[in-house]
Amino acid sequence: MKFTKMHGLGNDYVYVNCFEEKVENPEEVAVKISDRHFGVGADGLILICPSDVADVRMRMFNSDGSEAQMCGNGIRCVAKYTFDHGLARGDSEFSVPGQETFKNSLRVETGRGILKLGLAVGDDGKVEKVCVNMGQPILKGEDIPVALNLDEVIEEPIEVEGDVLRMTCVGMGNPHAVFFVDEGVNSIVLPKIGPKVENHDLFPERVNGHWVEVHAPDEFTMVTWERGSGITMACGTGACACGVAGVLTGKTERVTKAHLPGGDLELNWCEEDNCVYMTGPATEVFTGEWPE
């Protein structure tokens, strides 16, 4: 099986072009191929497949083999692969209301529907940066899902190992719980608290957990424990959820820069269409062949 290793801000996945390859058991392959000692090493597996309704369809599997609805860093890499490898031409325009216009765009079918993306193409004809319309955030408790019968889950208490924390929950197709911390994100012991939050009874489908330090209304730093993959260097859907949580709690403005361990993302929860726009890089690292 031919594969391509790609990353978005260090959130790395093994990508398989399913226009050419067939992956019989992606859940099992994801676990084996993601292993950093016995496999290729990645946060998971992403399949780029033909679609009847969009340019391509993506399926993403965490390193524990679970399938997630969406991956923000992954979709930027899917767009780069699709354009750079000629799977689609992407020759129509894409614009962010009242902001940038991109000459090239793509439509990607995901577990949360069809998402549109604008491509910034460099002088070498390859995609350098991608802006994704991540859709409208999901705020109702049961839709995220969180086991709380609330229209919005803002600064609600959650007990973790005897401590009562305050969480704001946002769905970006997949579920996110955001914790604002005053004492800096380095004070968070992710391997200890991450699994407790991910598997807490309040989250029927588990959850991605993020800890956020706000520096200014337009700037924050975040660290992440991802559902199904643990600590990652970046989480795109998570950054969008943190941007939305910042607005809901009155801590940030709608346009923000998120600092993640692997680099920065630009976020815009646009008032005009209620959609979240996320802009960041996508990088191809190497190609290889997996024997199984």
Ligand X SMILES: N[C@@H](CCC[C@H](N)C(=O)O)C(=O)O
What is the rounded distance in angstroms from the CA atom of residue 94 to the CA atom of residue 139? 26
- Give CA–CA dist 120/37, Å, rounded: 35
Cis, bond preceding 145 (omega within 30 deg of 0):
yes
Q: Is 18 a catalytic residue?
A: no
Do residues 267 and 240 lie in contact, with contact meaning Cβ atoms separated by under 8 Å?
yes
Is 279 annotated to bind a ligand? Reply is: no
**By C-beta, is 31 or 71 nearer to ligand X?**
71
Least separation in angstroms between CB 232 and ligand X: 6
Nearest approach, Cβ of residue 62 and ligand X (Å): 5
Active site residue 77: no
Handedness of CA 206, 182, 141, 162 (dihedral sign): positive
Catalytic annotation, pick one of 77, 131, 169, 235: 235
CA distance 230 to 208: 9
Closest CB to ligand X among 40 and 68?
68
57 marked as binding residue: no
Nearer CB in complex with ligand X: 96/278: 278
Closer residue to ligand X, CB minimum distance, 9 or 214 = 9
CB 137 within 8 A of CB 269: yes
Query: Cα separations (Å) of 245 from 62, 168, 190, 202?
Result: 24, 6, 20, 18
Q: Is 11 annotated as a binding residue?
A: yes
Determine which one of 71, 131, 240, 275 is catalytic: 71
**Phi, psi for 246 (deg, rounded to 5):** -60, -40
Query: In whole angstroms, how close is the CB of 7 to ligand X at the nearest point?
Result: 10
Q: Is 208 annotated as a binding residue?
A: yes
Which stretches of the chain bind ligand X, using CB under 6 A?
Answer: 11, 62, 68, 71-74, 174, 208, 226-229, 232, 235-238
Q: Is 4 annotated as a binding residue?
A: no
What is the residue type of 103?
K
Cite the active site residues: 71, 235
Per the annotation, binding residues are: 11, 62, 72-73, 174, 208, 226-227, 236-237
- Binding positions for substrate are 11, 62, 72-73, 174, 208, 226-227, 236-237
